[in-house]
Chain A
Amino acid sequence: MFDPNKLDSKSAVKMSKSTSTARPLPASSRESTPTSTPAFVATARALCVPMRAPSFASNVFRLAARELRDAARSKWFLLYTAAFVALGLGVSYVSAASSGGTGLSGFGRTTAGLINLVILVVPLMALSAGAGSIASDRERGMLAYMLAQPITRLELLLGKFTGLATVLLTSICLGFGVCAGILAWKGLRADPVALASLVGLTFLLAMAMLGTGLLISVITRKSSVAMGVAIFAWLTLVFVSDLGLMAGAVALRMRIENLFALSLLNPMQVFKMWALVSADTSLDVLGPAGLYATDTWGGGVVWIFAAALSLWIVLPLSVAAFLFSRRSPI
């Protein structure tokens, strides 16, 4: 029976040398158990782990659990989580200091600061986590070894996605949890519901960027290249596309409905606008384009944001799954 939790990267490298030509086992051999199992091993197994057919869900779950454990051991997760928590701490402290007794801290600084922080840090975390996963496994020979086990490629990809998404969720919850703790402790006037919805939206953004990262990881051969492409994608989504759109809006005298529609292509902008709406702030903060959105769709604009962000989650992941199932594993 396949148990990826028993694997670690060192043994994988060792083993991959001997099984480098391995292919996934044919479906018929999956369920078969070795005939010459010693009686005591069978007994021990029966005692400890009840025998189950390795279903799709259980394989995904096991792969996800393994991914989680690897991430918890790795440096990047700790580093990013620490950075996110520290920045969240900083934002809430600064907003606590700036409101200094006037009681005038509304939407203003805390939420704006948190939105900015999320847009900068979370996509970077998610993209690099996604980009680093399959490419580095491929480089180390781990991928070939994993695929020699009785699992499908889709299971492997979804397992990685689920595991890394859980890792990101943990990191986000830690960061916002500390931030909410500070806000509660300092008695700042902030809406817990708005903060909770910001957490949810951040997780959606993280999943969208994780899917994109996995896509990058599937289409690149080397992990260093994957990382580079991920950083480039991050830079594009955070700065370059917005700057380009700003320049385009001025140079082409773009109509506001076109400007708004184009901004929906960028998941960061969608996240930002959705976060503003969920913080009970009218989109007219964003000038004529926001006013246009409010006038045209009213509260229904949220569904547009939801559709855009879920497309960003589903589409890159599906493309990654499609390409991954077609490409040679090694």
Chain B
Amino acid sequence: MTSCVFIFATISFAWLQPPTSVGAKITPQMKNTIPIPNPLQEKIRAAAPGDTINVAAGVYRGELVIDKPIKLVGQGRPTLDGGGNGDIVTITAPGVELRGFRVSGTGIDLDKENCAIRVKAPHTTIEDNFLEDVLFGIDLKESPDSVIRGNHIGGKALDIARRGDGLRLWRADRTLVEGNEIHDGRDAILWYSSGVIVRNNKSHHCRYGFHLMFSNGVTIEQNDLFDNSVGVYFMYSSKLKLIGNRMLRNRGPSGYGLGLKETDDYLIKGNIFVGNCVGIYIDGSPFATPNSGLLTENTFAANDIGVTFLPSVKGNHLWANSFIDNFEQVSILGRGELTGNEFDREERGNFWSDYPGYDRDGDGVGEANYESRLLFENLTAREPSLRLFMFSPVHQAVDFVARAVPAVRPEPKFTDYYPLIEPPVKHGVDLATAAPRAMAALSASLLSLALGVLAIVFAGPVRDALRDRAHFRARAIGGIA
């Protein structure tokens, strides 16, 4: 009975404890949430629409609201400092230009979506700003025809679940996102924004490099997306173009270079997918428009899986792609065949690095079909935990048995009737840097170690022989004496 009371007391004490401590923490923050007037606010109030305000270098603390169509230009990169609370810049008038600032220190409140630059008006230009330690970076809400160019957006070093979006477009049609670098954020996300062009950006160490929701007619080209969880994710969108991007090392439980979810009418062309868990993950795409998935001239190299299809996916055309040394070139999640998808167009298929056939008539197309029917892949598709045995001799043994004993050989997942002999487009990506000098040094040291041991071993008999001679001499001398 007493122990019950004790436990109850402990629990209630523990229950009471956190609120008081949190309250103690909150008090200084409460003081700070009273907005400090930013010294620049006075200048904006004094300016007329269309004016250009040049801001000298220095630190300007507090929230700033730009409610007039003016240009705010930083000279020598002045700092707009949020001091770790709330938003920093809010733009409410159309046609504002913000350029050349360093913006840092938003709050970390996900409910209030603390944001470095919040835009609520169209025709806004955000250019050449350096954002760091921000929860949300640039947030465009109903601001079509804007330009986001040449900004650096660095998120907070928080757990991924507590981060905000580096860049967010909400109903911001025809916006140009160009030459930005986004890192350590959650997503760069496009909501209901059509006709957006995303070009020459870099995104790394985020969750989704670029994430499209219900956004049609978007072009994403020449971006570098690396070390994210997913490079680009298309969801519920259509008329999309993904051209010439580089997706590198996007890894994790759902590490995709590109994810396609219920997306229609897409052209995936000339992209490089290297070292991702999955190059392209195709889920229910194309969705409404049949045969509208076009994938061509892409290179899939050194991914765990080149392209993953969900079992019911059909209507994709893959031709003139290169599949080079992926641990699994194409996989189906679960069982099934890829009969609804085509792996050739106009009698040109894809290049497969594990294609065993040859080209007799010299037209660049192999004479035998490329069929993917490896037993180990078949097993791992059904039982993914068996991937633990990859790279073991047992992996090869299983595949060898399947080749030798047709009874256990699985049906082909798909067939490429016109496999190419050479990669149609040669993309080069340096996964590891070539270090021939260091490699040569390693080789030399290993070989000299081995040769050193051998020298000592064979020096032994020589030394013994010399010693024997010495014995002999000593004996001879002794004999004479």
Contacts and interface: CB of A to CB of B under 8 A. Distances in A.
A108 interface: yes
Interface stretch (B2-10, B135-143, B162-170, B379-387): B379-387
A103 B434 CA distance: 10
Contacts of A196: 442
Contact of B438 (A38, A108, A169, A192): A192
Contact of A289 (B385, B436, B471): B385
Interface in B267-311: 274-275, 277, 299, 301-302, 304
Contacts of B475: 40, 44
A256 B385 contact: yes
B457 interface: yes
B385 A166 contact: no
A104 B393 contact: no
A104 B447 contact: no
Given A44-B475, A119-B392, A174-B450, A106 B275 contact: yes
A101 B426 contact: yes
A287 B387 contact: yes
Interface string A95-113: 0001101111111110010
A47 interface: yes
Contacts of B423: 102
A69 B450 CA distance: 14
A184 B387 contact: no
Contact of B274 (A101, A106, A276): A106
Contacts of A268: 392
B461 A187 contact: no
A106 B251 contact: no
B384 to A, nearest CB: 5
B386 A189 contact: no
A113 to B, nearest CB: 9
Contacts of A170: 449-450, 453-454
Given A107-B302, A188-B434, A189-B434, A285 B447 contact: no
B432 A72 contact: no
Given A102-B427, A106-B432, A170-B450, A177 B443 contact: yes
Contacts of B435: 191-192
* Residues of B in contact with A, size category: 35 or more
B15 interface: no
Given A104-B428, A196-B442, A289 B450 contact: no
Nearest to A244: B394
Contacts of B461: 69
Nearest to A271: B392
A170 B440 CA distance: 18
Nearest to B446: A177
B474 A47 contact: yes
B453 A68 contact: yes
Query: Interface on chain A toward B: helix, strand, loop, or mixed SS?
Result: helix
A105 B301 CA distance: 8
A104 B388 contact: no
Contacts of A269: 388, 392
A101 to B, nearest CB: 7
A173 B391 CA distance: 22
B393 A287 contact: no
Contact of B457 (A68, A195, A284): A68
B430 A239 contact: no
Contacts of B214: none
A120 interface: yes
Given A250-B383, A285-B390, A288-B384, A106 B431 contact: yes
A12 interface: no
Nearest to B461: A69
Which 3 pairs, one residue from A and one from B, show the smallest C-beta to C-beta distance?
A287-B387, A106-B431, A40-B478
Given A169-B450, A170-B450, 15 more contacts: A40-B478, A49-B467, A68-B457, A98-B353, A105-B302, A106-B301, A106-B432, A177-B450, A184-B436, A185-B436, A191-B435, A239-B394, A245-B389, A263-B388, A287-B385
Interface of B: 251-253, 255, 274-275, 277, 299, 301-302, 304, 322, 324-325, 327, 353, 379-380, 383-394, 396-397, 423, 426-447, 449-450, 453-454, 456-458, 460-461, 464, 467, 470-471, 474-475, 477-478, 481
